[in-house]
Amino acid sequence: MIVSHKYKFIFIKTRKTGGTSLEIALSKFMGQDDIITPITREDENTRLSKGFVSKQNYWKRPRELEMRDLGEVLRRARGKLRGKRAMSSGLWPMKFYNHIPAHLVRERIGMEIWNRYHKFSIERNPWDASVSLYFWLNGSRPGKDHAEGFKRFVLTGAARGGSNYDLYSIDGVPALDFVARYESLEADLAKISSSVGLPENVYDTMKEIRAKSQYRKNRNYKDMYDDETKSAIAEEFAREIELFNYTF
């Protein structure tokens, strides 16, 4: 996730929606006081190779630490790391993290900033997103029976882990100013870029970044479904489907 004090926006990162690529692209415009949460080492290297601002300002300040935080630092570091060394090692407790939900962002950033900044995220057709999540978790190994594997993935409830509704909602109600649709991302990001005053459409930078895109190879998501799995996703993701009027 990103909090930009420079452009006064908050980006809540969702799963399997191109969020990492957008996060890297947004980093191009960030200032030294903005909050940028860590991503994987590979994706962080992509961000650095482009000369964009990297992870920063996401850990708790010493005065914000609670006793359980201090105990965790000491346990994990075995007393060998202190201060900035603990922060740079990843052992220091984080105030903001990758897929942090909106209610925690609001609590930790404060109501004054939350109410004043433009808050946005991305959603995706859940039938499509569930296939993407399956291949991200299971790869595209040749010879693997993905038809049976995907059916088991859906019917055991594992696909539920890809739901984003509670990330951009608070107390069950969508809480952001705008949720872009993955299916119309270029146009929606143009609106967001204009709303927050970015010097260009961030989509133009994002489209050159393909973070985590190697797992699924040109599959039509509909080919992965039968009537049983189609209905199961409809039930599991009923809130998203109703909110965005998604269809199979």
Task: Give me the DSSP letters along 153-217.
Answer: HHHTTGGGGG--TTTSEETTEE-SSEEEEGGGHHHHHHHHHHHHT-SS-HHHHHTT--TT-SSS-
Q: What's the CA gap between 209 and 21, in Å, rounded?
A: 6
Q: How confident is the model at residue 86 (pLDDT cuts 50, 70, 90)?
A: very low
Mean pLDDT of 126-130: 97
Predicted confidence (pLDDT) per residue in 56-67, tens digit: 999 876 666 665
pLDDT at 245 over 50: yes
Question: What are the residue ranges spanned by the domains of the chain?
Answer: 125-163+218-248
Rounded to two decimals, the pTM is: 0.86
